[in-house]
Amino acid sequence: MYKSLVIKVGTNVLTRPDGRLDITNISHLVDQIAALKQAGISLVLVSSGAVGAGRELLQVREGTEEVARRQVQSAVGQVRLMEIYRQLFHNHGLLCAQVLATKGDFRDDLHADNMLNCFRALLLDEVVPVVNENDVVAVSELMFTDNDELAGLVARMLKVDALVILSSVDGLYDGPPENPASRLIVDVAASDQSVLGFVQQKKTSFGRGGMATKLRIAAKTATAGIPVLLGNGRTPDILNKLTEGNWPGTTVS
Q: What pTM, to 2 d.p., does this model score? A: 0.92
Q: For the chain, where are the alpha helices, taking DSSP H only?
A: 11-14, 23-38, 50-57, 66-90, 104-107, 109-124, 147-158, 211-223
Average pLDDT for 50-79: 82
Q: What is the mean pLDDT of the chain?
A: 89
220 marked as binding residue: no
Q: How confident is the model at residue 113 (pLDDT cuts 50, 70, 90)?
A: very high
- The pLDDT score that the predictor gives to residue 64 is 77
What's the CA gap between 152 and 222, in Å, rounded? Answer: 10
Where is pLDDT greater, at 36 or 55?
36
Where is pLDDT greater, at 193 or 35?
35
Neighbours of 38 (CB within 10 A): 11
Nearest-5° Cα angle at 50, 47 to 54: 165
Looking at the structure of the chain, the number of domains it has is 1
105 marked as binding residue: no
Q: How confident is the model at residue 146 (pLDDT cuts 50, 70, 90)?
A: confident
Which residues on adjacent β-strands are paired with residue 96? 128
Where is pLDDT greater, at 133 or 4?
4
Which residues on adjacent β-strands are paired with residue 99? 131
For residue 217, the enclosing domain spans 4-252
CATH number at residue 243: 3.40.1160.10
167 marked as binding residue: no
| Inter-CA distances, 17 with 94, 192, 206, Å | 30, 33, 9
CB of 129 within 8 A of CB of 87? no
- The pLDDT score that the predictor gives to residue 102 is 86
What's the CA gap between 189 and 132, in Å, rounded? Answer: 28
Q: How confident is the model at residue 139 (pLDDT cuts 50, 70, 90)?
A: low
What's the CA gap between 42 and 3, in Å, rounded? Answer: 6
What's the CA gap between 208 and 48, in Å, rounded? Answer: 10
Q: What is the pLDDT of residues 201-248, one digit of tens each?
A: 554 445 445 788 899 999 999 999 999 999 999 999 999 999 988 899
- The pLDDT score that the predictor gives to residue 201 is 53
Neighbours of 137 (CB within 10 A): 12
- The pLDDT score that the predictor gives to residue 67 is 74
CB of 8 within 8 A of CB of 229? no
| Inter-CA distances, 111 with 48, 108, 120, 174, Å | 22, 5, 14, 41
- The pLDDT score that the predictor gives to residue 230 is 97
135 marked as binding residue: yes
Average pLDDT for 35-64: 89
